[in-house]
């Protein structure tokens, strides 16, 4: 049985091993593949493992031996999973692997806005403390989070973990989610989205990208927010209308934003957030600690093994 990994480099740039998958068949790993070559790369393989490349209807039709598609991530919008279901091809994902790392990164982004640790470290190394006439200095407003309100849109595993950390910092937590639950109620008060927008000092996005969440941060929803709000997005880039956010940053309506994701990745040079005021941008790395990637590797192998044994797990297109 032939297994093809289409775009494996970001999952394993060399610090992990593909052995868990190699043990299940004849494994062929491509660090990167061009989108236009995906059908050719899959070829006669029965198993395709993908991260971000698109597996379209046309590609599925061009690969008649294909029996299984495994996604090395939680999000699976890169696969035409509905058409795969019609063809009897299960699509699996990795539902739990980066809960702690993504939540940790969300708080890291927020703390960087509040403290600007990197900027002040650089200033010291440049000799600006050594030559300062006072015993300390700061070049951005420093913000204490205790007593402030964080609103989290999307309150699943990651949202709740972020909420627990923020609550430990002394913040009040509001949550908006389609499926309120008791675990969430222990951390946050569930409110409607307009209430969350109006009352939050910090808004964090932890919701999936669906048609009804695409562009949920836009000029209209921003207008409902507090003046000087902080926005954190390390979920999905298209949740935000980037020009509207850039305009709000430049006007001061939004004090600062920190994003680990953008609408097109890698980022386009004309993305308006690149030149917006007080905007921190990191290159989609919330998920990337080695510990998280190891869980991806292990779960991907477990998913495929379960399929081969006749009891598929983590199938998203049943």
Residues linked to residue 233 through DSSP beta bridges, in sequence order: 205, 259
318 lies in a domain? no
Provide the pLDDT for residue 210: 86
CB 97 within 8 A of CB 298: no
How far does Cα 128 stand from its chain's mean position? 36
Distance (Å, rounded) from C-alpha 5 to C-alpha 285?
21
Do residues 144 and 268 share a domain? yes
Provide the pLDDT for residue 182: 98
Phi-psi label, residue 14: left if phi above 0, alpha if psi -120 to 50, beta otherwise? left
Provide the pLDDT for residue 246: 98
* Catalytic residue list contains 265: yes
Do residues 29 and 83 share a domain? yes
What's the mean pLDDT when you consider all of the chain? Answer: 97
Do residues 103 and 92 share a domain? no
DSSP state at residue 228: T
309 preceded by cis ω (within 30°)? Answer: no
Q: Could you give the C-alpha distances from 198 to 61, 225, 255, 305, in angstroms and in order?
A: 48, 5, 15, 48
Do residues 79 and 223 share a domain? no
Is residue 155 pLDDT above 90, yes or no? yes
Number of domain units in the chain:
2
Provide the pLDDT for residue 251: 98
313 lies in a domain? no
Residue range 283-287: mean pLDDT, rounded: 97
Distance (Å, rounded) from C-alpha 106 to C-alpha 280?
12
pLDDT digits (tens, 9 = 90+) for 190-221: 999 999 999 999 999 999 888 899 999 999 99
Q: Which CATH number fits the domain that encloses residue 36?
A: 3.40.50.720
Which residue out of 58, 186, 265, 291 is catalytically annotated?
Answer: 265
Residue range 259-274: mean pLDDT, rounded: 97
Do residues 110 and 253 share a domain? yes
69 pLDDT band, cuts 50/70/90, is very high
- pTM of the entire structure? 0.92
Q: Any residues with CB less than 8 A from the CB of 268 and at least 6 apart, and which?
A: none
Give the rounded percent of residues in the chain with a pLDDT score beyond 70.
100
Provide the pLDDT for residue 290: 98
pLDDT digits (tens, 9 = 90+) for 113-147: 999 999 999 999 999 999 999 999 999 999 999 99
Distance (Å, rounded) from C-alpha 174 to C-alpha 216?
17
* Catalytic residue list contains 284: yes
Residue with tokens 């990637």: 293
Do residues 47 and 130 share a domain? no
Residue range 248-276: mean pLDDT, rounded: 98
**CA-wise closest residue to 234 among 183, 298, 186, 282:** 282
Q: Any residues with CB less than 8 A from the CB of 91 and at least 6 apart, and which?
A: 69, 70, 71, 76, 79, 81, 84, 85, 315, 316, 317
Provide the residue range defining the domain that includes 66. Answer: 2-97+290-308
Give the rounded percent of residues in the chain with a pLDDT score beyond 90.
97
Do residues 117 and 261 share a domain? yes
Distance (Å, rounded) from C-alpha 30 to C-alpha 45?
13
Which residue out of 284, 291, 295, 309 is catalytically annotated?
Answer: 284
* Catalytic residue list contains 236: yes
Do residues 134 and 217 share a domain? yes
Residue with tokens 């394993």: 12
Is residue 24 pLDDT above 90, yes or no? yes
Do residues 87 and 114 share a domain? no
81 lies in a domain? yes
pLDDT digits (tens, 9 = 90+) for 287-302: 999 999 999 999 999 9
34 pLDDT band, cuts 50/70/90, is very high
For the chain, the C-alpha Rg in angstroms (whole number) is 22
Do residues 127 and 222 share a domain? yes
Q: Could you give the C-alpha distances from 286 to 103, 108, 111, 167, 248, in angstroms and in order?
A: 8, 10, 15, 20, 25
314 lies in a domain? no
Break the chain down into helix, strand, coil percent, rounded to 5: 35, 15, 45
Which residue out of 116, 236, 242, 293 is catalytically annotated?
Answer: 236
Residue range 305-317: mean pLDDT, rounded: 97
Is residue 75 pLDDT above 90, yes or no? no
């Amino acid at each position: 049985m032939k297994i093809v990994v289409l775009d494996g480099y970001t999952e394993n740039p060399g610090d992990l091993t593909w052995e868990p998958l190699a043990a299940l068949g004849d494994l062929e790993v491509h660090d990167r593949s061009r989108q236009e070559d995906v059908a050719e790369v899959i070829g006669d393989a029965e198993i395709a493992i993908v991260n971000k490349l698109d597996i379209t209807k046309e590609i599925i039709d061009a690969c008649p031996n294909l029996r299984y598609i495994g996604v090395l991530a939680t999000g699976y919008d890169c696969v035409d999973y509905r058409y795969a279901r019609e063809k009897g091809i299960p699509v699996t994902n990795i539902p739990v692997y980066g809960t702690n790392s993504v939540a940790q990164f969300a708080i890291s982004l927020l703390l960087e806005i509040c403290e600007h640790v990197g900027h002040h470290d650089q200033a010291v190394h440049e000799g600006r403390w050594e030559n300062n006439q006072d015993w300390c200095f700061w070049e951005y407003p420093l913000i204490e989070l205790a007593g402030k309100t964080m609103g989290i849109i999307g309150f699943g595993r990651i949202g709740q973990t972020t909420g627990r950390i923020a609550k430990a910092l002394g913040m009040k937590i509001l949550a908006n989610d389609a499926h309120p639950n008791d675990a969430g109620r222990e951390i946050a008060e569930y409110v409607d989205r307009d209430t969350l927008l109006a009352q939050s000092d910090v808004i964090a996005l932890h919701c999936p990208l669906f048609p009804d969440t695409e562009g949920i941060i836009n000029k209209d929803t921003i207008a409902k927010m507090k003046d000087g709000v902080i926005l954190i997005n390390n979920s999905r880039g298209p949740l935000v209308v980037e020009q509207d956010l850039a305009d709000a940053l430049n006007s001061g309506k939004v004090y600062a934003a920190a994003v680990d994701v953008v609408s097109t990745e890698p980022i386009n040079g004309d993305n308006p957030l690149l030149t917006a005021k007080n905007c921190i941008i990191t290159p989609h790395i919330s998920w990337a600690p080695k510990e998280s990637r190891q869980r991806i590797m292990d779960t991907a192998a477990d998913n495929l093994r379960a399929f081969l044994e006749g009891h598929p797990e983590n199938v998203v297109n049943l």
